[in-house]
Structure 1
């Protein structure tokens, strides 16, 4: 505790180090120091018991008043209270100074660098030259990223649709969204962006995740390896997030105090018929308790109205109420006609058929007669035909796309639903400079069949076929319901293909014993045990158990070796059971040069599956997976995929095949399916249905889960009751039903899909463009971080090419330990890359948002070194008397005060307001030079370029305390600087306000904001007229208010001086003027 007058102290929540200036009773008055002009800038009365005395560390920058009323700046080199040793620039001895005479700047950006100069506290311009390039880069990055630092600092590639979704969420004061992109398009990435930004905005926040059990490990890895959430770990090491499984219902209520809840595969938990269904009721309680919510679902448009409502009720309970289910059904019905009209618009309109397009537009005009923006858009599209009735195909396509986008954005069921579709994203344009990578899908290939000649496999096939034949006859004879037996048959057939018997035995045992068994999943056990056990089933099991052949796994291993070359990456999907372990052991026993064999098993210890995947990606080889590899994991690096078995349902197979048909630039993996020798057997029949009926090897069916399940059950029913030939004849019905469902979804998507462009498109391109400057970025940061005029840290290049920054044990940094603590963050944050293309898992991006870079930025803002400098520049060709110039640096940015008022969340809305402001008006630096001879701005570009040159040895001399008299001599006396410095600032500030380019930039920015806000106004009017087609006709009223506030904040921006330079241009040495 420090309570005596003159002592340096701090306290909880203090804005830095303060000084006790008075003591009354049990409290002390603590003031803070800004500059020699504002010696006491803020005060607080604090209980003496809450004060903590401060011992100044070496290198702490201090200000000391002199007897003549001036101030000197120095740095602490030793001592402790009540006496310190201070070293002043160009003084060859250390001065002992009482604590009561020392002042330390508070931890706030410098208000007025001119006052630092006037007080004689300026330091060498070399500090400025080391710091200014990084200051410029930090501002350039802020402008490029629009302060979306969570996106720019994440360890992922930059793609427009993902950036657009994340930006929309983090810039919304109400962050409750449904992310509904199709499978494989990066919903996890979008959620990761949002979570990282949320924690950057406030590191004290906490996030909860509810995910399918199979995805827990992958979520954990992605959040740490790509989004670096351990950057925000608590002091005791606890992470800022927790993950719970879908089945851990009793644990969900612990997330009610979370700042954000993320629910993956939310549709699985929203399959409810009433709000009281379990576990939907528990999910609703926690979803409504948290202030922010992200629902992730690739299949939001359920066939069941109740499931659709259940999902939206989680998102917005005030708008979508269970008590208004009938009204919700009517709303969906009303929207169907509009959806069909939009869906009917050709994405590739015929440039020679204006009559067809006019007919399609008429359907929209009839439904939305009051939408003036729609009418204007349709008129623009029709005008593309001109007098010749033949339109330019590209112009026409863009015009029709604009009409589709307008209708979708204006009449979306809920404006906080974001859905990107593959075909739309694939058409998005990249930047012309080639900095952005395309978002590509690895795709799918029809499989080749590997037919195993295995005695063990023949025994397994015989057992299942015998069981099916006898059950079929028994069902017919006893007139039993075939459906439960058909579902049991589907699980048994899923154990065929690989030529082994153990897992068929396990499935039969689970059915007969009606209890769980190793290698049988809970859904499979339910399907196996629904139907009554028939007496003959025990004999089928015993016959299979007595079979002595054990050649299946060896035959399969041999077939794999023939198809996988050394160095290739292959995945062998084995499904549930013991097969995966058997195949891995058989592969390792072979002498063939196959490469490493990796295991991805349910029984593996936590973390080992992730290690196996990382090793497989890095070294290649064969990754053998049981059901743990069918969901969650991404294997798009696979070159060969072998399906040792086929799952019992198309949705389960879609999940598996989606592991390799994902984002990636490689060609589709070669696919193989293992089967027995019979081309007409049960296993091959099911393969034909999956491939031809469901078309699963050609395109994703992930959006059609509900109907796919029912169609599969119908197939198994037909197989059991009518036989193979009949079941195969009905394959055409499967294709027709899927086509109808796909059309229904596409019609809904015509209204609900998101379209790119706008702010997200600009942000993605800006970040990619800034990333392309990585060599320049690295040079500037290295000079600041490791240079003699910078922080004097060490750097070491790692074996993977990353750089690690540490304190240099051989030299003391020119920054106090208190400030250096902002930079010397966790080692992980200080190890990474400046080049995004070199990133490896777990290594950081050196961008704003990384605590290390943010620490550097905060030190540059607080530490006034380099913010005020004075120098003498020797110019032998200068024909005039010495001339003094003042260079004033200004930061121009949007004024956030009106935006904060419109958002209405106080300081909690500051981060959102900052991003919105940076989107509207990119922050910029401007430097204005004033010549003292006429006190007018310098307009000559050549002179400005000369004045902006960095310090050059032998030419430039720092005007420190022992040389500053030369400046006073040129100006005409000691007191003149006190006048011309502030006067020059006033002239520079006035000139900046009148400068043509700045006025033009702010006017254009304000106009852009106004146009966007006017568009929202027009869309709101259209929604209100069409109230029967939307759930929330007035949803954008808050956005309109924020838009008008942004317009005000851009029209009259904030302008703040950040640095000042005084430069004397002279043909003679400074020493001649002392």
Structure 2
């Protein structure tokens, strides 16, 4: 009879209650000869597992491996080999229980540092902001990339499917294939809709569609650099030249191919982002590298782009990408590239030195180390039990620690602004 089954029978006796402090066990075997495998089995239960003296429920997942080793010893060596095996098993059980004690201590530390209530509140807050999440992604998919929503059942607008048109700004090969819109079913941003329609996909970070959109955004460099002449009547100073830089601070997990990342890369990225979520940070600096603090200037720099068909009177923004002669009138084109690189490097260094970034990295690293240690203990237990694939899992988890400790500060977009109370001259505009 298996050790787990015997312990179950002992537990049933315990539930009847015992009136005596000492309980004597009498074990009846089919054969009571000293050289019988049954005798070796009973000796192993008593000396190796200590089954009759304490519970073995805490080592349940090790029992199958122990029993298989016992069967091999009985077959190859007979009952005489049980004594040595029992000593090895006792040592393994002692190590297992010590590891469990360490794991329990680490669990208590992790729970004290990251209460479950805070985690639940974060999830609930994200769920409450469904409209904001939808609005942000729709501006990109529908407004910028010119996809189109198609209701699944008219006139209800939700759930919906995404479709492309002739105007959609996504190359058919290879990226539209990556989005796989034809095979994607009904979509929704609202959990109540997904609950009422189980076949509907709830859009959240991590779903294949949003993963593809995020990778495409990083692959497509349109909009990542710009030069704008911004006319602002409220600007009462001399012509101002400066930059907006948008950085993303994230775990430094390299992706070899944005179109077809490997599962290993995606798994490592998701695991690392669990501890250090990506954060975007924008900064406005003057041509001298000094961060903009003036509220009036910041309001001018952060307002939406005004095209000629939506400008207020003659106040419109002018894209200088196709008008390099205007830029040449205010800054030396030969030195402009070097200036941009210098500003980028200075801002990146300043960003890494910010206390908020340092605190976030330290907290993420501490949390990751605690959880990785817990998982390492579990995986080590699997390894000792004969699961040699566990070593690869341990290495995969440990590999993300440097990516968290030294995150990447990626420049996502950079633009140059020329701010003036007056538009450029007609001659320069021509």
Give the alignment's TM-score, normalised by structure 1: 0.28
Q: Is 2:336 the counterpart of 1:980? A: no
CA distance in 2 between partners of 1:863 and 1:876 (Å):
35
Aligned partner of 2:265 among 892, 910, 928: 910
Choose from 393, 400, 406 the match for 2:104.
406
The question of 1:775 aligning with 2:140 is answered no
Asked if 1:866 is matched to 2:223, the reply is yes
* C-alpha deviation, 1:958, in angstroms: 3.5
Q: CA deviation at 1:850?
A: 3.9
- d(CA) in 2 for partners of 1:1066, 1:784: 30
In 1, distance between residues paired with 2:159 and 2:292?
Answer: 44
Structure 2 SS opposite 1:1070 = coil
Q: How far, CA to CA, are the matches of 2:417 and 2:53 in structure 1?
A: 69
Q: Secondary structure at the match of 2:173?
A: helix
Contact 1:885 1:929 in 2 (8 A): yes
Q: Is the 8 A contact 1:824 1:852 kept in 2?
A: yes
In 1, the alpha carbon distance for the partners of 2:408 and 2:160 equals 37
Q: Show the counterpart of 1:838.
A: 193
Distance in 1 between residues matched to 2:212 and 2:206, nearest whole Å: 10
By percentage of residues, which structure has more helix?
2
From 879, 895, 912, give the equivalent of 2:236. Answer: 879
Tell me the CA shift for residue 802 of structure 1. 0.8
Larger radius of gyration: 1
Q: Tell whether 2:302 aligns with 1:948.
A: yes
Q: Do 2:7 and 2:51's aligned partners in 1 also have CA atoms closer than 8 Å?
A: no
CA contact (8 A) 1:881 1:1066 kept: yes
Deviations 1:333-388 (A, max 9, x none): 27944769xxxxxxxxxxxxxxxxxxxxxxxxxx99x969969xxxxxxxxxxxxx
CA gap of 1:956–1:856, structure 2 versus 1, over 3 A, is farther
Per the TM alignment, residue 920 of structure 1 is displaced from its structure 2 partner at its CA by 2.3
**What is the aligned partner in structure 2 of residue 786 from structure 1?**
142
Structure 2 residue aligned with 1:1000, among 351, 359, 368? 359
Contact 1:822 1:855 in 2 (8 A): no
1:856 and 2:252 correspond:
no
Deviation at residue 949 of structure 1 after TM alignment = 2.8
The answer on whether the counterparts of 2:230 and 2:418 sit within 8 Å (CA) in structure 1 is yes
Assess, with a 3 A threshold, how the Cα gap between structure 1 residues 985 and 374 changes in structure 2: closer, same or farther.
Answer: same
Residue 333 of structure 1: aligned partner = 51
Which residue of 2 is the match for residue 963 of structure 1? 323
**CA distance change for structure 1 residues 912 and 1069 in 2, over 3 Å: closer, same or farther?**
same
Listed as ranges, the gaps of 5+ residues in structure 1 are 1-272, 275-300, 307-323, 341-366, 376-404, 411-754, 898-905, 1025-1029
1:142 corresponding residue in structure 2: none
Conserved 8 A contact 1:889-1:1057? yes
* Partners of 1:757 and 1:996 in 2: CA distance: 20
In 1: Cα distance, 2:175 partner to 2:233 partner:
42
Query: How far has the Cα of 1:1044 moved from its partner?
Result: 5.6
Distance in 1 between the 2:45 and 2:330 partners? 81
Distance 2:187 2:229 in 1: 40
Q: Structure 1, residues 1003-1045: CA drift from partner, whole Å, max 9, x if none?
A: 222233344456678x79xx99xxxxx968x999877766665
Which residue does 1:1060 correspond to in 2?
Answer: 414
Where does residue 160 of structure 2 map in the other structure? 803
Residues 1061 and 850 (structure 1), Cα distance of their counterparts in 2 relative to 1, 3 Å cut: same
Distance 1:776 1:984, change over 3 A: same
Instruction: State the alpha-carbon separation in 1 of the partners of residues 243 and 389 from structure 2.
Output: 51
Q: Aligned-pair RMSD on alpha carbons?
A: 4.7
Alignment deviations for residues 9-39 of structure 1 (CA, whole Å, 9 cap, x no partner): xxxxxxxxxxxxxxxxxxxxxxxxxxxxxxx
TM-score by length of 2: 0.63
Structure 2 distance, partners of 1:921, 1:761, is: 19
2:75 equivalent in structure 1? none
Match of 2:292 in 1: 938
Q: How many angstroms apart in 2 are the aligned matches of 1:873 and 1:896?
A: 37
Distance 1:338 1:939 in 2: 66
Instruction: Give the match's secondary structure for 1:333.
Output: coil
Q: Is residue 230–residue 318 contact of structure 2 (8 Å, CA) maintained in 1?
A: no
Instruction: State the Cα distance separating 1:918 from its structure 2 match.
Output: 1.0
Match of 1:812 in 2: 167
Displacement of 1:798: 2.5
Q: Distance in 2 between matches of 1:1038 and 1:331?
A: 30
Task: Give the SS at the match of 2:340.
Answer: helix
Cα distance between partner residues in 2 of 1:907 and 1:782: 27
Whether contact under 8 Å (1:937, 1:988) holds in the other structure is no
Return closer, same or farther for 1:338/1:975 CA change in 2, 3 Å cut-off: same
2:5 pairs with 1:303: yes
Task: Tell me how many residue pairs correspond in the alignment.
Answer: 339
1:962–1:766: structure 2 CA closer, same or farther, 3 Å change rule? Answer: same
Q: Please name the residue that 2:275 is paired with.
A: 920
Shift in Å, 1:969:
1.5
Instruction: After superposition, give the CA deviation of every residue in 1:954-997 in whole Å (9 maximum; x if it has no partner).
Output: 244242444332222222x3323222111211111221221221
Query: Residues 525-571 of structure 1, C-alpha deviation per residue, up to 9 Å, x if partnerless?
Result: xxxxxxxxxxxxxxxxxxxxxxxxxxxxxxxxxxxxxxxxxxxxxxx
Q: Any idea what SS the aligned residue of 1:1068 has?
A: coil
Write the mapping of 1:447-486 to structure 2, written as runs, cut at 5 A: none
Change (3 A) 1:944 1:995: farther
Could you tell me how far apart the structure 2 residues matched to 1:1004 and 1:1047 are?
A: 12
The one-character-per-residue Cα deviations of 1:561-613 (angstroms, maximum 9, x if unpaired) are xxxxxxxxxxxxxxxxxxxxxxxxxxxxxxxxxxxxxxxxxxxxxxxxxxxxx
Helix, strand or coil: the match of 2:317? strand
Contact 1:828 1:843 in 2 (8 A): no
